[in-house]
Amino acid sequence: MSEKVKSIAILGGTGDLGGGLARQWSRAGYKILIGSRTLEKGQAAAQALLDEFSDLNVTGHENLEACLGADLAVLTVPFAHQLPTLETVKSGLIGKILIDVTVPLMPPKVGTVQLPDSGSAAVQAQNYLGEEVQVISAFQNVGAVHLQGDHGIACDVLVTGNKRSARDSVIELVEALGLKGWHAGPLANAAAAEALTSVLITINRHHGIDGSGIVITGEPQK
Protein backbone atom coordinates (compact mmCIF):
# COMPACT_ATOMS: atom_id res chain seq x y z
CA MET A 1 0.00 0.00 0.00
CA SER A 2 1.21 3.50 -0.80
CA GLU A 3 2.68 5.38 2.19
CA LYS A 4 1.25 8.61 0.78
CA VAL A 5 -2.34 7.51 0.18
CA LYS A 6 -3.93 5.38 2.88
CA SER A 7 -7.59 6.31 2.53
CA ILE A 8 -9.69 6.68 -0.63
CA ALA A 9 -13.11 8.27 -1.05
CA ILE A 10 -15.08 6.76 -3.90
CA LEU A 11 -17.82 9.14 -5.02
CA GLY A 12 -20.44 7.05 -6.74
CA GLY A 13 -19.24 3.95 -4.93
CA THR A 14 -22.73 2.49 -5.12
CA GLY A 15 -22.42 1.94 -8.90
CA ASP A 16 -20.78 -0.93 -10.76
CA LEU A 17 -17.42 0.73 -11.46
CA GLY A 18 -17.14 2.56 -8.14
CA GLY A 19 -18.20 -0.54 -6.27
CA GLY A 20 -15.63 -2.62 -8.14
CA LEU A 21 -12.82 -0.19 -7.31
CA ALA A 22 -13.94 -0.12 -3.67
CA ARG A 23 -13.88 -3.91 -3.57
CA GLN A 24 -10.40 -4.22 -5.04
CA TRP A 25 -8.70 -1.37 -3.13
CA SER A 26 -10.22 -2.41 0.18
CA ARG A 27 -8.90 -5.92 -0.33
CA ALA A 28 -5.49 -4.41 -1.11
CA GLY A 29 -5.44 -2.81 2.35
CA TYR A 30 -6.70 0.73 1.79
CA LYS A 31 -9.30 2.43 3.96
CA ILE A 32 -12.31 3.01 1.73
CA LEU A 33 -14.97 5.64 2.27
CA ILE A 34 -17.87 4.97 -0.07
CA GLY A 35 -19.69 8.18 -0.95
CA SER A 36 -23.21 8.59 -2.28
CA ARG A 37 -25.81 11.33 -2.58
CA THR A 38 -27.45 9.91 0.54
CA LEU A 39 -25.91 8.48 3.69
CA GLU A 40 -28.22 5.46 3.51
CA LYS A 41 -27.03 4.42 0.05
CA GLY A 42 -23.39 4.84 1.02
CA GLN A 43 -23.84 2.75 4.14
CA ALA A 44 -25.72 0.05 2.22
CA ALA A 45 -22.90 -0.24 -0.33
CA ALA A 46 -20.31 -0.47 2.45
CA GLN A 47 -22.33 -3.13 4.26
CA ALA A 48 -22.58 -5.18 1.06
CA LEU A 49 -18.78 -5.32 0.92
CA LEU A 50 -18.53 -6.17 4.61
CA ASP A 51 -21.04 -8.98 4.14
CA GLU A 52 -18.64 -10.46 1.58
CA PHE A 53 -15.36 -9.66 3.37
CA SER A 54 -15.95 -8.92 7.05
CA ASP A 55 -12.39 -7.76 7.78
CA LEU A 56 -12.36 -4.83 5.33
CA ASN A 57 -11.89 -1.22 6.44
CA VAL A 58 -14.82 0.28 4.52
CA THR A 59 -17.49 2.75 5.62
CA GLY A 60 -20.44 4.51 3.96
CA HIS A 61 -20.99 8.28 3.84
CA GLU A 62 -22.50 11.17 1.98
CA ASN A 63 -20.13 12.34 -0.76
CA LEU A 64 -18.77 15.44 0.99
CA GLU A 65 -18.14 13.61 4.25
CA ALA A 66 -16.26 10.91 2.33
CA CYS A 67 -14.04 13.52 0.66
CA LEU A 68 -13.24 15.27 3.91
CA GLY A 69 -12.20 12.02 5.56
CA ALA A 70 -9.95 10.65 2.79
CA ASP A 71 -6.48 11.38 1.40
CA LEU A 72 -7.65 11.10 -2.21
CA ALA A 73 -11.00 10.94 -4.01
CA VAL A 74 -12.26 9.05 -7.06
CA LEU A 75 -15.23 10.24 -9.11
CA THR A 76 -17.20 7.38 -10.68
CA VAL A 77 -20.55 8.89 -11.65
CA PRO A 78 -22.27 9.19 -15.05
CA PHE A 79 -21.28 12.22 -17.14
CA ALA A 80 -24.62 13.93 -16.50
CA HIS A 81 -23.89 13.87 -12.76
CA GLN A 82 -20.23 14.93 -12.96
CA LEU A 83 -20.52 18.67 -12.36
CA PRO A 84 -23.51 18.46 -9.98
CA THR A 85 -21.53 16.02 -7.82
CA LEU A 86 -18.38 18.15 -7.93
CA GLU A 87 -20.42 21.16 -6.87
CA THR A 88 -21.39 19.38 -3.65
CA VAL A 89 -17.85 18.18 -2.79
CA LYS A 90 -15.60 20.98 -4.07
CA SER A 91 -14.69 22.20 -0.59
CA GLY A 92 -13.65 18.70 0.46
CA LEU A 93 -11.25 18.28 -2.47
CA ILE A 94 -8.99 21.28 -1.85
CA GLY A 95 -5.35 20.24 -1.73
CA LYS A 96 -6.11 16.69 -2.88
CA ILE A 97 -5.92 14.52 -5.96
CA LEU A 98 -9.19 13.67 -7.70
CA ILE A 99 -9.12 10.64 -9.99
CA ASP A 100 -11.83 11.31 -12.55
CA VAL A 101 -13.15 8.17 -14.23
CA THR A 102 -15.93 10.03 -16.04
CA VAL A 103 -16.65 9.16 -19.66
CA PRO A 104 -18.87 11.55 -21.69
CA LEU A 105 -21.24 8.89 -22.94
CA MET A 106 -24.38 10.36 -24.51
CA PRO A 107 -27.25 7.83 -24.65
CA PRO A 108 -28.52 6.31 -26.78
CA LYS A 109 -25.39 6.50 -28.98
CA VAL A 110 -22.86 5.40 -26.36
CA GLY A 111 -20.84 3.59 -29.02
CA THR A 112 -20.18 6.91 -30.79
CA VAL A 113 -17.44 9.27 -29.57
CA GLN A 114 -19.04 12.49 -28.30
CA LEU A 115 -16.58 14.66 -26.39
CA PRO A 116 -17.72 17.84 -24.57
CA ASP A 117 -16.80 21.38 -25.65
CA SER A 118 -13.99 21.47 -23.08
CA GLY A 119 -12.24 18.64 -24.94
CA SER A 120 -12.78 15.98 -22.30
CA ALA A 121 -14.72 15.31 -19.12
CA ALA A 122 -11.49 15.41 -17.10
CA VAL A 123 -10.57 18.87 -18.42
CA GLN A 124 -14.10 20.00 -17.64
CA ALA A 125 -13.60 18.83 -14.03
CA GLN A 126 -10.24 20.59 -13.74
CA ASN A 127 -11.65 23.83 -15.13
CA TYR A 128 -14.47 23.72 -12.59
CA LEU A 129 -12.37 22.79 -9.56
CA GLY A 130 -9.42 25.09 -10.26
CA GLU A 131 -5.75 24.64 -9.47
CA GLU A 132 -6.31 23.80 -5.80
CA VAL A 133 -7.28 20.29 -6.91
CA GLN A 134 -5.12 17.98 -9.03
CA VAL A 135 -7.40 16.14 -11.45
CA ILE A 136 -6.01 12.88 -12.81
CA SER A 137 -7.83 10.87 -15.46
CA ALA A 138 -7.69 7.06 -15.29
CA PHE A 139 -9.64 3.77 -15.42
CA GLN A 140 -12.00 4.68 -18.29
CA ASN A 141 -11.02 1.56 -20.22
CA VAL A 142 -11.30 -1.05 -17.45
CA GLY A 143 -14.58 -2.96 -17.48
CA ALA A 144 -16.47 -2.91 -14.18
CA VAL A 145 -17.20 -6.61 -14.62
CA HIS A 146 -13.49 -7.35 -14.08
CA LEU A 147 -13.19 -5.23 -10.95
CA GLN A 148 -16.11 -7.06 -9.39
CA GLY A 149 -14.47 -10.45 -9.87
CA ASP A 150 -11.52 -12.36 -8.42
CA HIS A 151 -9.57 -13.04 -11.61
CA GLY A 152 -6.51 -11.27 -13.00
CA ILE A 153 -7.32 -8.32 -15.23
CA ALA A 154 -5.56 -8.21 -18.60
CA CYS A 155 -5.97 -4.47 -19.11
CA ASP A 156 -3.63 -1.49 -18.85
CA VAL A 157 -4.56 1.94 -17.52
CA LEU A 158 -3.75 5.25 -19.22
CA VAL A 159 -3.04 7.91 -16.57
CA THR A 160 -3.14 11.56 -17.62
CA GLY A 161 -2.69 14.71 -15.56
CA ASN A 162 -0.79 17.96 -15.49
CA LYS A 163 1.63 17.05 -12.67
CA ARG A 164 4.02 14.11 -12.79
CA SER A 165 3.97 13.62 -9.02
CA ALA A 166 0.18 13.29 -9.00
CA ARG A 167 0.30 10.78 -11.85
CA ASP A 168 2.92 8.81 -9.90
CA SER A 169 0.58 8.59 -6.90
CA VAL A 170 -2.26 7.32 -9.07
CA ILE A 171 -0.06 4.78 -10.83
CA GLU A 172 0.78 3.34 -7.40
CA LEU A 173 -2.94 2.85 -6.83
CA VAL A 174 -3.31 1.26 -10.27
CA GLU A 175 -0.55 -1.20 -9.49
CA ALA A 176 -2.15 -2.02 -6.13
CA LEU A 177 -4.98 -3.53 -8.18
CA GLY A 178 -2.56 -5.72 -10.11
CA LEU A 179 -2.86 -3.55 -13.24
CA LYS A 180 -0.21 -1.74 -15.27
CA GLY A 181 -0.43 2.04 -15.29
CA TRP A 182 1.16 4.24 -17.94
CA HIS A 183 2.08 7.91 -17.89
CA ALA A 184 0.01 9.17 -20.83
CA GLY A 185 0.77 12.87 -20.68
CA PRO A 186 -1.13 16.01 -19.65
CA LEU A 187 -4.81 16.10 -18.81
CA ALA A 188 -5.68 17.22 -22.34
CA ASN A 189 -4.73 13.70 -23.45
CA ALA A 190 -7.62 12.30 -21.39
CA ALA A 191 -9.71 12.91 -24.50
CA ALA A 192 -8.10 9.85 -26.10
CA ALA A 193 -8.93 7.50 -23.21
CA GLU A 194 -12.46 8.85 -22.90
CA ALA A 195 -13.07 8.49 -26.64
CA LEU A 196 -11.61 4.99 -26.61
CA THR A 197 -14.37 3.88 -24.24
CA SER A 198 -16.97 4.28 -26.98
CA VAL A 199 -14.73 2.31 -29.32
CA LEU A 200 -14.46 -0.50 -26.76
CA ILE A 201 -18.24 -0.51 -26.26
CA THR A 202 -18.65 -1.00 -30.00
CA ILE A 203 -16.06 -3.82 -29.98
CA ASN A 204 -17.90 -5.48 -27.09
CA ARG A 205 -21.17 -5.36 -29.01
CA HIS A 206 -19.88 -6.59 -32.34
CA HIS A 207 -17.63 -9.34 -31.01
CA GLY A 208 -19.55 -10.48 -27.94
CA ILE A 209 -16.81 -9.52 -25.50
CA ASP A 210 -17.67 -8.82 -21.87
CA GLY A 211 -15.40 -5.92 -20.97
CA SER A 212 -12.70 -5.49 -23.64
CA GLY A 213 -9.67 -3.40 -22.70
CA ILE A 214 -6.28 -2.28 -23.94
CA VAL A 215 -2.73 -3.47 -23.41
CA ILE A 216 0.34 -1.36 -24.25
CA THR A 217 3.06 -3.31 -26.05
CA GLY A 218 6.78 -2.72 -25.72
CA GLU A 219 9.20 -2.81 -22.77
CA PRO A 220 9.90 0.40 -20.81
CA GLN A 221 13.56 1.44 -20.78
CA LYS A 222 13.34 3.22 -17.42
What digits encode the pLDDT tens for the residues 160-206? 999 999 999 999 999 999 999 999 999 999 999 999 999 999 999 99
The candidate with the shortest Cα–Cα distance to 64, out of 44, 45, 82, 39, is: 39
Kindly tell me the number of DSSP H helices and DSSP E strands found in the chain: 8, 8
pLDDT, mean of residues 215-221: 89
In a domain, residue 213? The reply is no
pLDDT greater than 80 at residue 129: yes
In a domain, residue 220? The reply is no
The answer to whether the CB of 70 falls within 8 A of the CB of 7 is: yes
Amino acid 2: pLDDT: 46
In a domain, residue 219? The reply is no
The candidate with the shortest Cα–Cα distance to 86, out of 122, 118, 115, is: 122
Residues 6+ apart with CB under 8 A from 9: 33, 35, 61, 63, 66, 67, 69, 70, 72, 73, 74
Give the structural domain span for 143: 7-207
pTM of the model as a whole: 0.94
**Considering its fold, how many domains does the chain have in total?**
1
Residues paired with 136 in a beta bridge: 99, 161
Q: What whole-number distance in Å separates Cα of residue 27 and Cα of residue 152?
A: 14
In a domain, residue 221? The reply is no
In a domain, residue 2? The reply is no
Which CATH number do you get for residue 164?
A: 3.40.50.720
In a domain, residue 215? The reply is no
In a domain, residue 129? The reply is yes
In a domain, residue 192? The reply is yes
